[in-house]
Every structure is written in structure tokens, then in C-alpha cells.
Amino acid sequence: MKIYRNPDVMWREEDEFKEQAYKGLDTGEDVAEIGTSILLHSGKMHSLNVLGTEVWKLCDGRTVEEIISSLGEDFDVDEEVLRKDVIEFLENIKEEGLIYEE
Amino acid sequence: MNLKELAFPIRIYWDLSPAPDNATIDYPGICREIVEMRFFSLNLRDAGVELSSTCMEILEALNNKPIAVALTVSRSVINPSMMTRLSGLKVKELLIDAFTDEDFRFIAELRNQYNNSTMVIGASFQINKYNYRGIPDIISFCLNNDLTRIVFPMQRLTAKEECFYISRQDGKDLSNKLYPLNTGNLKLTIHDPFLWRVFYPDTAFPGAGCQAGNSMAYISPEGNVYPCPSMPKILGNLNNSPLKILLSSALKKELVKSLRKSPVACLGCKEIDHCIGGCRGRTIALSDSLELRDPACQ
């Protein structure tokens, strides 16, 4: 099953916060609470952290496995933990109508 | 997540003057800045009897750019060639000012006529003390005529427009009249948390508190930049400063920071999760204070 971003969702990365999150990752800080992108759909704003943003950007027709594999190259995280987080995140944003599967 | 202060807003409201164009304002330059700052949407309003050359210049400058443009006009500008032109300029939403029943009928007919257009056609209805009691009839008309898009625009309190709000009791009365109507099919834009409560008494306002200066900004016909059409706190004028400078100024940042805190008068209120502090611009317009309660709460 391929995953796509809903084209009706407007989004952008916030450069300043993205830089702050990546600096934090380099120094081993917890950056889960730093929002690095903002999404707007049906009048509702969503903020994603650095991992969420990277998953979101990879929702371009890739499968879940392809997304996990691509993230594994960039994030130094246990694969099973990453898999669980990504699947849970994708379920959440699918419920919000931000992505769709085909 | 701590994305409470955006680098730049995502929505911009821009009212154009029906008077001759302000020749000193660099409209294409402002459009370039809007694109560069990656705004999501522009809500452009041209209230003239004809669309101004400035309006067309802006629409052309933003054509095929990654920004959703909604245009609000008076019905006098609508004709077949204008509809084709606006559609070609990829206007996402065409909103027509509705003041009378006849205006609503006109919009409903236009909407049916252009049913297959990618451009959404809807009504812009400014609520005031003379017309608010007619809201249930308007909603009923819209539901019966497949007019599903209605915007209740923010009051231009920056232009000293008379501040209006629906009292709590009137809100309850209206809500009771709206309750039997199935408003689920309508796409409404409601900026006021207390008006929201009239339509959706059981659902919390879907916002993160006052967004003046944070996710929204406003350009007045004179080129003044404000955090919101309802917030009479001027950030500067486009004749003197670029938009980007005004929207990243210390003045704007301080204001956004202070708006993140609930009004002192609301601390401990059990309804704060519902109204999230109400309309802070309205409070400023009426009392020049950020710490008092929104008068619509009373």
C-alpha cells in the first residue's frame, strides 16, 4: 500500500525550529517536543516534530517499509522502536485526513 | 509541541481600496514577499463596484504560485468574462458580499451556474447589530439552495468599524433556532469563538487561542500592517517598510508573546478551554487592554 500526502493540506517547515531540533539531535537532546513544521487542513493547524516532519515528507507514494528504511538511514534509532513510532504516527495522521493510501 | 510562534504567519488578509490605487505601494514586491514567506493563503478583498487594476495585478502576480487565494468582491463585478478570468487566474474561492436576500439568491444562482468550476463560490456575510437575528433564515436558505460556503468575516476594528458581538442570551436564542437545521453540510468560516458557540455549542473552538500576528496578518487599504483585521495595533506601513521586516519585528514578537497568555480576568474561568481567551482584538478595541475579558463573554 502506497502512502500519499493529502494534496489539500498546506504545509511548511519552520527553518529556525528545524535548525534547533537538528542541533539538539547532534548533542543527544530530546527534541520530540520541538515542532519543525506546520500543517493546515480543514481550518485545523497541526504541528509535527522533526521525526513527524521527515515521515510526512516521505509520504510521496512510498510504502510504510520504504519510509521506515529511509528514516533508518538518517536517524540513529532502534529499528523496532522506529517502526512502532512511524506506524502509530501514520495511523494518527491518516485519521486526521492528512494522508491517504492507495 | 512548542511551535507556538511561527516565523511568519500562514494566512494574510488584504483589503484593497476602492479609491484610486496607492501608487507608492509596490504591490508586485509585496506579492513576492508573500510567496517568499510561504504564506498558505491570501484573503484578498476588493469592495469596489469594479475590480481594480491593483487587484488584477495581485492575482496575476500570485497565479501559479504555491498559495491559495480567496477573493471577496461585490456582486457588481460578476459577469461571464470576469468569471472566466478569475478561474484562469486560479482563484480558489470567490466570495461575494451578501447584504440582502437578493444577494444570497444571486450567489446561489451563480453557484449553480458554475457548479463544475474548480473555483469555490460562496457568500461573505458580515454580521452586525442589524442583521444577526436573520442568521437562521440565511442558513436555512443556503441549505435549501445548495449554497454551502459561507464566510463570516472578521470585523475591521482597525478601521474603527463599530464593534459588534452577540450577547450570551442572544447567542443562546440563535443557537436554539439553528439546532434543528442540519448545518453539517455547510462549510463555514467562523473566527469568533463566541459565534462558533452559537453554531456548535458542544464543540470547542478549533483554534489555539488568539492568532493575531502569529498565524495571521492583515494589510489595510492604506498599506498599514496589523496582526489581525480585528486587532487595532499597527505594526507599520508598507510605504515605509517591507512586509517581511514588519512581520519579524520586535513589536510583533512582543505582541504575539503577550497574546499567548490568557487575559488576567479569565484566569480560573471554567470556560477558558472553550473560548481560549476570546477575541483579544475586540477587547483591545473596546478597552485598550489585553487583560480584560472579551465583552462577548458577558
**Structural domains for chain A:** 3-101 (1.10.10)
This prediction has a pTM of 0.91
What string of pLDDT tens digits covers the 298 residues of chain B? 556 689 899 999 999 987 766 668 899 999 999 999 999 999 999 999 999 999 999 999 999 999 999 999 999 999 999 999 999 999 999 999 999 999 999 999 999 999 999 999 999 999 999 999 999 999 999 999 999 999 999 999 988 888 999 998 999 999 999 999 988 889 999 999 999 999 998 888 877 789 999 999 999 999 999 999 999 999 999 999 999 999 999 999 999 999 988 899 998 898 887 788 889 999 999 999 999 999 888 7
> By CA distance, what is A32's nearest residue in B?
B1
> By CA distance, what is A40's nearest residue in B?
B40
Residue type, position A85, single letter: D
Domain of B230, CATH number, reads 3.20.20.70
> Would the CB atoms of B7 and A34 count as touching at under 8 Å?
no
Residue positions counted in chain B: 298
| Domain with B236 in it | 9-259
- B96 touches B71 (CB < 8 A): no
- A7 touches A59 (CB < 8 A): no
Q: What is the largest CA-CA distance in chain A?
A: 39
Give how many domains chain B has, as a whole number: 1
> By CA distance, what is A36's nearest residue in B?
B3
Residue of B1, B10, B68 with shortest CB distance to A33: B1
Residue B131 included in any domain: yes
**Following DSSP, what letter does each residue of chain B receive, concatenated?**
----S-SS-SEEEEEEPSSSP-TTS-HHHHHHHHHHTT-SEEEEEE-SSS--HHHHHHHHHHTTSSSEEEEEE-GGG--HHHHHHHHHTT-SEEEEE--SHHHHHHHHHHHHHTTT-SSEEEEE----TTTGGGHHHHHHHHHHTT--EEEEPPP-GGGTPPP----HHHHHHHHHHHTTS-GGG-EEEE--HHHHHHH-TTS--SSSS--BTTTEEEE-TTSEEESSTT-----EETTTS-HHHHHTSHHHHHHHHHHHSPPGGGTT-TTHHHHTT--HHHHHHHHS-SSSPPGGG-
Residue B295 included in any domain: no
Q: What pLDDT was estimated at residue B28?
A: 94
CB atoms within 10 A of CB B68: 19
Counting one residue from chain A and one from chain B, the pairs whose CB atoms sit within 8 A come to 38
> Would the CB atoms of A35 and B3 count as touching at under 8 Å?
yes
Residue B278 included in any domain: no
Which residues of A make CB contacts under 8 Å with B? 10, 12, 14-17, 33-36, 38, 40, 43-45, 47-49
Q: What pLDDT was estimated at residue B2?
A: 54
Residue from A20, A44, A45 to probe the interface with B (highest B Cβ count within 10 Å): A45
> By CA distance, what is A11's nearest residue in B?
B40
Per-residue b/e over B42-60, b at no fewer than 16 CB within 10 Å?
bbbbbebeebbebbeebbe
In which residue ranges of chain A is pLDDT below 70? none
Residues of B in contact with A47 (CB under 8 A): 1, 3
